[in-house]
Chains A and B, each alone.
Chain A
Amino acid sequence: MTSTMLDPFHDIAPDPDVAREIDPGLPREDKVFHLIARAIGIAVLAIMGAIGLFLGASSIPTFSRYGLGFFTENQWQPENDTLGISAVLVGTFTVALVALAIAFPLALTTAVYISEYAQPRAKSMLISLIDLMAAVPSIIWGLWGFFLLQPKALHFSHWLHTHLGWVPFFHVDTDPEAASWAQSRYTASAFIAGIAVSMMVLPMAAAVMIHVFGQAPIGEREAALGLGSTKWGMVRTVVLPFGRGGIIGGSMLSLGRALGETIAVVLIISPAFDIKFRPLEVGTNTVSALIAGRFGEATSAQLSALLCAGFVLFIITLIINTFAAMIVSRSRSGAQE
């Protein structure tokens, strides 16, 4: 360094031209960082992929053994070598659709209330409450459904049967007008399980809806109000059309969650393996309840059948979730999550 001080023309002195490297590449610490990050990514991919592949591979013996009959057979009797998931699939969808039918209107009104009607100060607290509701363990909703809801809901089931029994959907295989009506025919039904599941999936749908409603452009809201619209008129013409993607996507996400719900359903239903579209009647079964009930005594062949049933459930949930994500992201609001 001293030489430059002594020689003022040092900087001007012609240097031999060394081409600067155009792409010097990453510094060493970034190379290490990329390596580690990539390794973690690969590890996660490997774990996740292994589960998917394992489920798929375990299903092959069952598919090759029973073929399409696996989807059309309703009995699950491994001892007689007849097993299939048509009844449990019907039951799974019955419970999930009952849950959605209850959760959808409640989630929508709650979301509209929180995003449009609630006081601004109460808003963040109410959103926290919805998040808290989503975090309530499913076993709590199971207890609620079994001990508190069931004794009350079966009267409602009976009422529906008595007055709307001519609709096949509300039919129960018993005489509703009997002097002492058979309460046990109305307990442990898909309807009651569906109510418990609806409370579990409701906050999920509501959270998505609140999120997209909050993104409705303020200018359009003010335009609607400025033209003399009432509050509901503004909600109907601005907020709901804007949030349509979120409403549909959030509901589908919660449907996907409802399909896989286990513990509340296991607590409430009594297993039955007939295909029926009578949700008020005692007895139904779902894929997850089937797994929870049958894994213990399963031989390896039966385990493969259970894994296959689980794989089918996973694929159905995956398809629904993918559609939900597509609808949410393609909508005008474009909300993630």
Chain B
Amino acid sequence: MTATIDRPNDTAAPSPFAPPVDTVTDTPRVLNSRTPDDALSFWGSLVGSGALVWLLYTQILPFSGRIGFVVCWFIAFLVMYAGVTAMGNPRNVVVDRLMSAIVRSGALIVFGTLATAVVFTFMRGVEALTNVNFFTDDMAGVRPTSTLDNGGILHAIVGSLIEVGLAVIVTLPLGIGCAVYMNEVGGKFSKVVRTIVEAMTALPSIVAGLFIYTTLIVTLGISRTGIAAAAAIGVMMLPIIARSADVVLRVMPGGLREASLALGASKWQTVKQVVLPTVRPGLATALILGIARGVGETSPVLLTSGASTYFNANPTNEPMNSLPLFVFSAVRSGEPLFIARGFGAAIVLLLLVLILFIITRFLARQKVGRR
């Protein structure tokens, strides 16, 4: 490791002009390392503060409760960690360590909360899911005291799929067409359209439901049906889809578009052959996230579809239940067995969203231009 090199001729009579022989060992500084000191101060503070808080919190002071314990532990840990670090490091390192701990714990809380929500829903609902009839039956004639091997949520699953499917059939072409219009045709009028679309993304979903309720159900006298629910979901989704498609189209590099036009392609050919294939993964991601939002939203269907208990695949006649609405009404009923069914339906809803989500990840990963 030493930098001195043994050269027989030089060692006999070193020239007075030669640079001094470097005997200092040159070890490169290890970047981004954690020394044993770092690790020990972290784990030591964690254990030490835990022990201290346990002693004070449960043995000496009149406190109780697990959440309070964890909060106190965290605060004590921060103080102790800062103190231990300050013993051998300058102030900015102490601040860096503290902020690193805070940032990491913030992220941990967020992902932990997401995990608790998912796990909790599964734990409460798995009881209902284990019965096959839960997926093959409807709730017609199921009494509040009927056990979980009676009745199911087939009507709600089918209702959700029909309502969202109808909404998507109408809003998808309108939303994408509108985005294409705003980006590829342009003009002064398109700016007006963009302004209005962006403004309507602020429309609360319950107000979209109330709009359809007032116009279709109260004024036009259409009864509460699947089609009314689909209209409410569509009204809620249309600005979301149009706006997200617009954002995706807007960030597409202009060079591709210009190259196509310069080759003599017409605008329509450019849109069909260049623009849409290029943005397809991004577009699909944005759209499916919009659809997931439509599947999960309860407030528009709460006002418009009516909560039926029986199977109904006809959206133009009779009320039609849907998954979020079923969860809501089941939980509101207060009957323990209905609450269990509500949680079971919530799992199905969560899985539906998860499937849509995995599809978006899959589409987003696809390489562009492989057609």
Contact = CB atoms under 8 A, between A and B. Distances in A.
Give 3 nearest A-B pairs by CB, closest first: A109-B106, A137-B296, A260-B204
B120 A144 contact: yes
A259 B203 CA distance: 11
A213 to B, nearest CB: 12
A48 B68 contact: no
14 contacts: A30-B266, A30-B268, A37-B177, A40-B178, A48-B197, A128-B361, A133-B110, A138-B297, A262-B298, A267-B331, A292-B299, A303-B214, A314-B207, A320-B202
A313 B204 contact: yes
Given A52-B199, A336-B250, A47 B324 contact: no
Given A40-B180, A41-B190, A232-B95, 19 more contacts: A30-B268, A33-B267, A33-B271, A38-B181, A48-B197, A52-B196, A58-B214, A106-B106, A113-B107, A132-B114, A135-B353, A137-B298, A141-B117, A144-B116, A144-B120, A152-B67, A232-B100, A313-B207, A336-B247
Contacts of B205: 260, 262
A21 interface: no
Contacts of A38: 181, 185, 189
A136 B96 contact: no
Interface residues of chain A: helix, strand, loop or mixed (majority): helix
A110 B206 contact: no
Interface string B185-209: 1000110110011111111111110
Interface in B91-113: 92-93, 95-96, 99-100, 102-107, 109-111, 113
Contacts, number: 273
A141 B356 CA distance: 19
Contacts of B175: 44
A110 B117 contact: no
B106 A44 contact: no
Contact of B103 (A41, A109, A229): A109
Contact of B210 (A40, A233, A306, A320): A306
A229 B113 CA distance: 33
Nearest to B365: A124
Interface residues of chain B: helix, strand, loop or mixed (majority): helix
B174 A310 contact: no
Contacts of B200: 48, 51-52
Given A40-B173, A321-B202, A51 B208 contact: yes
Contact of B204 (A27, A110, A310): A310
Contacts of A183: none
Given A40-B177, A263-B299, A303-B214, A140 B350 contact: yes
A313 B206 CA distance: 10
B178 A41 contact: yes
Contacts of B350: 136-137, 140
B304 to A, nearest CB: 10
A169 interface: no
B235 interface: yes
A310 B103 contact: no
A199 B117 contact: yes
A139 B193 contact: no
Nearest to A58: B214
Contacts of B356: 135
Contacts of B215: 54
